[in-house]
Every structure is written in C-alpha cells, then in structure tokens.
A and B are shown apart, each in its own frame.
Chain A
Amino acid sequence: MIRLRYIYALAILAVLSSCGKTEGPAGAGSLPLQNEASFTAYTVRLPGRTPEEQAILLTQTVYPATREDNAVGAIILVPQDEIIAFTAMQSITHMPVNAPLMYLTKDNHVSEATLREMKRLKPDGVLNDRRIDVYAVNVPEAEVNKVREILGYKVRTFYADNPVQLAEILDRWQGALKSDHPDEVIMSALDHPDALKHGIGAMGWNAHMGKGFAWVYKDSIPEATKRILKRRSGDHGSYIYLTGGPDVISDKVARELGRYGLVRRIFGENVYASNTVNAGYKDYGRNYGWWWNWEQRSLGWGIAQAGHNFIIGNADNMLGMIPAAVLGHMGKHGPILLVAQDSVPQAVNKYLTMVKPFPTGPQETILNYAWIIGDTGTVSEATQREVDFLLSPFKNPKAAKPLSEADTLQKK
C-alpha cells in the first residue's frame, strides 16, 4: 500500500511538473531602447536606428519566443538590399512559413546581435518544407555556414543573379510549399525609383496573405514573369495587380499583361496616396469554378472603417519598413502607410480621418492603433502625435508639452 502511495505521489508530481512555471525574472527594466520606444494612447514607436536594429526590434515585438507557439516558424535572412528584401518578404513571410526578415550587416556579414536574436527566436521549422529554420536569400555561403554551425539551424538558400529571377524561383518554391500557385499576383516595376514606395503597401498585404509576386519593367515584361503568369489557372488565368500608375508601369505593359489575365491597378497620385488606396483596396469576385466547387479571388485590406491597426513609417526608410510588414502578419495585423519625417501627408490625413473611430459604449468599443517605425530622426514626435490624434476618437488634443519633454518616464 505504501508503495502505491509513493507511485501516486510521483505520478501527481510528474503531472504537476509538466505544467511548467509562469515566472521568470521581472520583465521590465533598463532595456537599451525602452526610453526611445515612446507610446501614446494609440501608437507605440519601434525606434530602430539602423535597418538591422529595426529588424531585431520587430522580431522582439512580434515574437516573445517563450514557447513554441509564440516563436517563429522560420527566419528570412537577406543582405541590406531593398529589392532583395522586398522580393523575399512578398513570398516567404506568410503562413505556413511564419518568418520575420532579418538583415546582414552592410558588408554582408551576420552580426553578433542578429545571430543572438536568431538564437532567441528558436524557429519551429517549416512543416511544409523539411522543417527549414532559415531562408537565406543571396546570403554569402560563409555566412550560411556560420548560421548552420553556430545555431545548428536548417537553412534553405536561394541565389539569383537578378530580382526577376529571384521572384521566379520563389514562385516555384511557393507553389511546392502550398501545393498551389496563388492566382492573384502583385507586380512592381523594377526600373522605377519609387516602385517600392508605391508597392510597399501591397507587399504588406502579401506578407499578410501570401499571394503571388512578380517584377515587371516600366515598359516591358520579363520572360520569367511571363512564366510565372502562365502557371496560374484561374478562369481568367492570373489576376494581376499593378502597384503604381502609368508613370510607374506603363499602359502598354498593362495591356500586354492582359493576355495573361485580369489586370488591376492599385495606385494614387503619389507614393503616400498609393498606400492609402492600398489600405482601402479590395478586389473580390470570380477566380475559378467547376460544377460543385468554386473559389473566389480576394486581394486587399479593404479597410474603410474604424477598428484597425496601421504600420506607419517614413517613405525614405524602405529598409526599415520592409521587415515591418511582419506587424501585418501577426498581432493586430493591418496595412502599411507612409509619412514624411515631420508631417502626415494629406492623403494619409484624409484616409485616417475617414477611419477615425467614435466614442461608443463599454461593451462595443472601437479603437484604432498604429506602430511607428523608426527613431525620431525617421518619424518625428510631432508626426507620431499627429497620427495619434488622427487615430483617436477625440477632437481637441491639448498637449501640455511635447513628448520629448516627458523625459522622466522609464528612467528606472
């Protein structure tokens, strides 16, 4: 009998110990950038000073990594190249991969800080792809080996001579991963200086929903892109979404793309407006149908009312904004909007005014929220405050003093 009691006691102890424990050290403290991570009622700043640091702040915000389910599926590692990062984020981030993007240093090395963060993130490995932990896009082989050897992670490498080819490789990989080529394809112009700025909002949608992506030139369509489009099997072939107006991707290209499917444009009169249009954009309808089964197409956030999250950053900080799309993939989700360092452009002002919430009851509250990407040199405090006001349900902000003077906080 005594033995049985011991056995029962041991069994109970085993069950209890498997429950784990909730506590570790206190969570707040003198973290190096906490002072700069200023918050208001409706905004929180992620104050990255460099693209590499910005990427780390983003992964730390999105993935607490205290357990498998709030850690990453994998990590995207890319050089500090806007075009490469933009292409990778479009195709890799979304489920089932669940991967934030991290940068190499400017001289193409994995820095100590990034390596440590990659270790902290503890990728679960992508079920649909041999439990791959890291997707390294155009990363030098020596750095890939470093990740393999130091962290013991499984790495899949993608190498391409040019972004068009990279998009094509990633499209093939995505098809194998999802057993499908998504029929909706977003397109940006590779040879236009503002193409990324026009297309970053749509890129955010892709990071959120994982549709297709391909590059075009302003006046021509690369062969690799034609191959991507031919793989689509919707009733009209592909559903193509051009990011930017005719000055970015010409009407001639739009007409030619019509051979491969239905063509739409997501654009405004400037880069700010292109992204507010993207935030409100929704295209849905036929994709394909066969007798008893059918599938609709659906692209765009379609946000035209209060109750949403926005990712807000400087149009001149593309390297910082590209990894920020991960905030549209987890947490409160939501589209990317661009502002200037010291002002909220008219298009953004109008859009946020349209989606401004209003006071409601305690049980049906509607609130907006935004992430401010970058330090105050990238997005000023005044801009943050202006955004806060636009997101609020209130009309009369009367600040006693600027946020910068509220410096007693967080000096623990």
Chain B
Amino acid sequence: MKWTYPVLTFLVVLILGFGLLNVLKEDLEVAHWTEKGAMEGRMIAHTKNVTRVVAKNATDLHEYLKTAIPYEEAKVADMAPSEKNWQAFVTQSIKVADNPRHVLVLPGGSKEALQWALPAIYYAFYYGSPVLFAENGQLTGQNATQYRNAKAFIVGPEELIPSDIEDNFEDAERVAGKDLTDHAIKIAEMRDDAYEFGWGRVRNRRTGYFHYVVTTPKHALEGLAALPYAVSNNASLLYAGDEGGLPAALDRYVWSQRTDWMVSPSEGPFKHFWLVSNDVSYAAQSRLDFSIEKAEYPSMGPVAMGYMEALAIMLIVLGIASAIFVMIHSTYTLHMVHMPIKIAWAMTSLVLPVLGPILYLNSYRRPAYKDEKGMWHWLRPQNIQSAAATAMGFGYGAPTMIAVGFLFVWFGFPIFFPEWIEGPFFWLGAGMPIMMIAMYVLTVLIVVPMVQYPMKEMMMDMPKKKLVMMAFKTTALSMAAVSLGMMTTAWWTMMYHIPMMPKEDDILWFGVMWLASFAGFLVAWPLNWLMIRSHLKPGNV
C-alpha cells in the first residue's frame, strides 16, 4: 500500500478531529478569561442583561428604590427591612388581593426562615397573597382560621414548618426545594392555575418577558429590600451561591430561560437580571448576562444547543459510528479488499452516516471472484457499482474538502474589493466564493496525486501518462459533481436557512458540511453511473 492513503487520511482526521474537539472544548469552558483581565478598567458594573444593584445594605437599597420605583402599585412598607422586623415588613408591604385563591404559610423568625420564605414573598407581593408565619410550630400573623378553607401552600422544609401545621387547613401542599437555590427555582417554575400560585416560568414558556432578582442567601435581607421589582418588573427571586458563583441548578435554570428569535433579534421577549449582592463575581454576572442573550432559533447561540445543532450532532455522531463500524467490519471480514478501499469506505461512511454502511454492505455481500492478478471483484448491479465508484472518490474527496474549508474558517477568508473588480464579478473577491473555489481546487490537487492516481494504477492496466490524465479528469469531474451538491447545499443552508453564518467553533458549521457532503454524494452518484457505463472507472472492487 502506498503511504499517501494513510497520510492523507491521518491529516484529514487530524484537522476534523481538532475542529470537533475545539467545539467540544469551547462548549465546556465556562469563563476561562475572567481572571485574565476581563474586569480590568471597568467603570460601571452593569451589563446589557444584568443590572448590578450595588447597595451598602438593605436600608440603603430600600431608600433608593422608593425613588427609583415610585409607583404606588410597587410600594412597600416605609420602614427598611431588618433581621428583626422582616416579618412585619412583609406583612405591611403586601396588599392582600380581594379574593385570594390561596394562602401562604411561610417560616418565620430566624434569618434562615427569611431565606426560605423570600422566593414566595416575591410572589405574595406580586399577587397579593395572604401570608401566615409559622414560628416555633405555631402560626402567627394574620388570623389563620379565616383561611382554613383556602388552599394553603406550606413554603419551606419540615425543620422550619412542622407537618402538623398542615392540619390547620382543609387543603395544604408543601413547597420546598432540597436547598435554597433549588427552592427558589421551584417557585419560579411551579404554577398551580387552579389556586393561582407560582410564576410558571418553565423552559418552554417562550413568550414571557421574565425578570429575576438574583441575590445570595447571605444577602437575603437585601433581596427583601428589592421587593418592589416583584410588582414593577414581575421579578421572581433566585439564589446565587454565597461564595459568589452560580450553583449548578441555577446555571441550568438560567440557560433554560434563553429565548430564541425567528425573524429578528429585536422581537421579544427579553429577559433581565437584577443582581442584588455585592458578593456575586463578575464571572458569574457575565455568565448570567450571556445565558439570556437572545439567539437565533437554529443554534441558540454559542454554548447553548439549538434544535438544528442537535440534528447536526446526531448526524456527526452517526457518521463517526458508521466510519468505525465500516473500518472494523472490513478489517475483520474483508481480508481480500485493499486497505485504501477500506479507508475510502470508512471515510465515505464518516460523512454519509447510515447510508455509507448500507452501501458498503450492499457492495460486498455479493458473489466475488479473483482475477488472474489476484485481485478480487464483486458482481454488482450497475447502481451499486456506481455507488462504490463514487465512494472511492468521495471517501477521500469530501472529507478533504471539509478539512480545507475548516482551515479557511479557522484562519479567516481572504477578501478582495478593488474598484476594478466591481460589477458582475465582484463575488470573485468575496470570502465565501473564494473558500468554495479553494475547497474544490485544492482538494483535486491533493487527491489526484495522493489517492486517485495510485488507486487507478492499482486497478487499471494503462500507460502512465494516460492514467495520470484519466485520474485527473475523472477526479475533477467527480469532485465537480460532489461540489455542485455540496456547495449549493452549504450556500443555501448558511446564507438563507441559518440566520448567522456559523463559525469554526460552532457545531452547525460541521453539521452543514456533513449535510452538504450528503447532498454532494447524491449528485455525484448518477455521474459515476455514466462513468461506469463508459468504463472510465471500475465499480466492482
């Protein structure tokens, strides 16, 4: 076997493998630049999707918001909340609705009680829920008996509100997360329509303009001072970690809140965070900011995963699995097939998931004979011969084209726009056409000497000069057909179907290339049918 086959395969796999690993790496990374100066020189702390509510303490914040949110509907108690008076602050702030459908039983007393109660207090203030406090196993606050027949939501764990409190109500339901972060998310997500409790802000609620106040358990009191946002901005409360980071549950939740756009990013809804804790890190803030940045529907932006990206991943994973299957299967069962041909089938299967292995099996599960030179041939109908002949060129050509294309997107497209080029041929200086032309030309120039000529030399008995010409012509023609399908599909998908052209670190770029290769194969197949008929290519090896 010539060294050129495995060397080219190695280079192509190396480039594509590097590209795919780079996608994986960038998707896994969280905020690796943060400590390298991303915060350096900042003059304000706000970012586009996060307003940093920097306050000295709860009293400061309470005072400021009286002016900043002057609306009667969002007015809270005049006194600033403190560890001692927070229950009274809550009771005085809430304007109980005329016919409330539920009553909230909140833990009272300690700071820990406030932490557990706070997410529900936000909803209570928004809705006008009557609130009862449970302290030392007893209900305090408003008269509990008047709410006996109302649906009671017992908010918090049993350690803070014992289960016998539930006996005070006809119908009671406990709402408690396994920790504070989970608890706040639970209240943000839950919705009981019958009793009108819970924000109902779940992943598939794509149309709401949700705002969130984010604080830390340590700064629960500041979170309480930011209560006006519950009415002015319908903000629900979420907890970041006391160490200043985003706990995994919160991270998952905020990413689920990312909204997509279908026509233009100026369409709603928009989401926003009000960050009420000086301890939350800049890295966490920027991640919050990034998590809800609107993204186009197909990809949902970098890091998140859109529906088309999911399809792309499936296509690529199936391709890799198909290639591995063909390589292993042919190695163990087809000793008589030359390695370059096995590689061609494996590489074909890489970019032709499922169909590749089907054609491969169809090509070799047939009667075979050995010719006088010891070479094996399989008796195949012409369609399958054409598929096999296509695979021999396509297997090396298509992945090489993708690899060349990847190098272009990695290093950037060269563009030219001198005055003289303007007119009908301005596109000759444009990046995409240059990349496409280069993908075709470079691939033909690489594949002819490294693969097609040696392969034809192995299979066909011809003078060297004629063989070189034939290798060049058939490869140029075959790759032109592959390119026709491939480039058309890639252009249409990237320019018209995907709103933002994917970059080198976007799985959609690879997905589009895989899809385009599939189309390229389907276009090249009939052309190879003609070449088989004209004996320009062998189709039975």
Contacts and interface: CB of A to CB of B under 8 A. Distances in A.
A301 interface: yes
A1 B46 CA distance: 53
Interface in B257-288: 264-266, 268-270, 272, 275, 277-287
Contacts of B432: 128, 179
Nearest to A384: B68
Contact of B28 (A20, A37, A401): A20
Contacts of A7: none
Given A23-B281, A127-B412, A333-B265, A400 B51 contact: no
Contacts, number: 353
Given A176-B416, A405-B67, A21 B422 contact: no
Nearest to B126: A362
Interface of A: 18-29, 31-34, 36-42, 44, 46-47, 53, 56-57, 60-62, 64-71, 95-96, 113, 116-117, 119-120, 122, 124-132, 172-173, 175-181, 208-209, 227, 231, 301, 303, 307-309, 327-328, 330-334, 362-367, 369, 385, 392, 394, 396-403, 405-406, 408-412
Given A64-B290, A334-B266, A24 B426 contact: no
A41 B270 contact: no
Interface in B479-538: 495, 500-501, 503-505
A26 B280 contact: yes
The secondary-structure label for the interface of chain B is loop
A363 B208 contact: yes
Contacts of A47: 44
Nearest to A368: B209
Contacts of A113: 41
B232 interface: yes
B70 A31 contact: no
Given A24-B283, A333-B266, A67 B419 contact: no
Contacts of B173: none
Nearest to A329: B265
For chain B, the bracket of interface size reads: 35 or more
A180 B59 CA distance: 57
A61 to B, nearest CB: 5
A371 B279 CA distance: 25
Interface stretch (B30-38, B313-321, B349-357): B30-38
B301 interface: yes
Contacts of A69: 26, 290, 301-303
A231 B430 CA distance: 14
B268 A366 contact: yes
Given A31-B43, A131-B411, A411-B56, A303 B266 contact: yes
Nearest to B429: A176
Contacts of A95: 500-501
A338 to B, nearest CB: 18
Contact of A129 (B40, B63, B415): B415
Interface of B: 25-26, 28-35, 37-49, 51-56, 59-61, 63-64, 66-74, 123, 126-127, 191, 198-201, 205, 207-211, 228-229, 232-234, 236, 243-246, 264-266, 268-270, 272, 275, 277-287, 289-290, 293-294, 301-303, 409, 411-417, 419, 422, 426-427, 429-433, 495, 500-501, 503-505
Most buried by B among A32, A119, A362: A362
A333 B266 CA distance: 5
B284 A394 contact: no
Given A22-B283, A231-B422, A406-B67, A37 B46 contact: yes
Nearest to B26: A68
Contacts of A132: 412
A32 B45 CA distance: 10
Contacts of B245: 22-23
Contacts of A66: 31, 33-34, 38, 282-283, 286-287, 290
A31 B45 contact: yes
A128 B412 contact: yes
B49 A18 contact: no
B269 A307 contact: yes
B412 A129 contact: yes
A400 B233 CA distance: 20
Contacts of A117: 41
B70 A397 contact: yes
Contact of A130 (B32, B70, B414, B430): B414
A173 B417 contact: yes
A47 B46 CA distance: 12
Contacts of B501: 95-96, 127-128
A124 B505 CA distance: 11
Given A31-B44, A37-B44, A176-B431, A18 B25 contact: yes
B276 to A, nearest CB: 10
Given A24-B283, A119-B37, A332-B49, A397 B412 contact: no
Contact of A116 (B26, B40, B294): B40
Given A67-B29, A363-B200, A24 B302 contact: no
A34 B44 contact: yes
B45 A34 contact: yes
A28 to B, nearest CB: 4
Contacts of B46: 37, 39, 44, 46, 61
Nearest first, the 9 A-B pairs at minimum CB distance are A331-B48, A64-B286, A131-B412, A27-B282, A399-B70, A409-B64, A179-B430, A69-B302, A307-B268
A307 B208 CA distance: 10
A62 B426 CA distance: 34
B266 A301 contact: yes
